[in-house]
């Protein structure tokens, strides 16, 4: 892979990582005990108002789902950056072939080539 493309993808990944971290920090608190793990912030549950409390629980569940999605993406992006750092980036995890350039440009955190993705 040419260095210029690699640098472009690296910058894209770094930017995505920052964005994901920003989004996560707005809905979740970083777990101080586990690196890379986030916990959804607990919404306050008002006393004596069951309807509102149910809404809060629903909101919390929704937030947890979003948090998990963001966390998974963040892990993918971090893993891709780690692969760049140890020069294994761009190789398909399943067959070892070089992942198509177009696919990496579209999805810089891709782990598999198009063939393995669809098979």
DSSP summary character for residue 96? -
Quick one: CA dihedral 65, 67, 70, 71, positive or negative?
negative
Judged by DSSP in three states, 7 sits in helix
- Asked if 95 interacts with Zn ion (CB under 5 A), we say yes
Stretch that binds Zn ion, among 54-62, 67-75, 100-108, 111-119 (CB under 5 A): 111-119
Which range binds Zn ion by CB under 5 A, 29-37, 46-54, 63-71, 108-116? 108-116
For Zn ion, which stretch binds (CB under 5 A), given 30-38, 58-66, 67-75, 90-98? 90-98
**92 binds Zn ion, rule: CB under 5 A:** yes
Distances (CA, A) of 9 to 67, 89, 107: 25, 10, 9
Shortest Å, Cβ 32 to Zn ion: 38
Cα Rg for the chain, rounded, in angstroms? 19
Binding Zn ion (rule: CB under 5 A), the pick from 1, 6, 12, 116 is 116
Which residue, 12 or 116, has its beta carbon nearer to Zn ion? 116
* Nearest Cα residue to 24 out of 44, 41, 42: 41
Quick check: 98 binds Zn ion (CB under 5 A)?
no
Q: For residue 39, what are the contacts with CB-CB under 8 A and spacing of at least 6?
A: 28, 29, 30, 31, 67
The contact set with Zn ion (CB under 5 A) reads 92, 94-95, 97, 113, 116
């Amino acid at each position: 892979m040419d260095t210029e493309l690699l640098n472009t993808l690296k910058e894209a990944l770094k930017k995505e990582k920052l964005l994901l971290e920003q989004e996560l920090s707005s809905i979740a608190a970083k777990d101080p005990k586990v690196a890379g793990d986030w916990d959804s912030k607990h919404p306050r549950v008002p006393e004596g108002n069951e309807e509102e409390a149910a809404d809060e629980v629903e909101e919390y569940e929704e937030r947890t789902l979003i948090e998990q999605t963001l966390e998974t993406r963040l892990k993918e992006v971090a893993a891709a950056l780690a692969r760049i750092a140890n020069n294994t980036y761009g190789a398909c995890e399943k067959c070892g072939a070089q992942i198509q350039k177009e696919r990496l440009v579209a999805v810089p955190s891709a782990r598999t080539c198009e063939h393995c993705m669809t098979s």
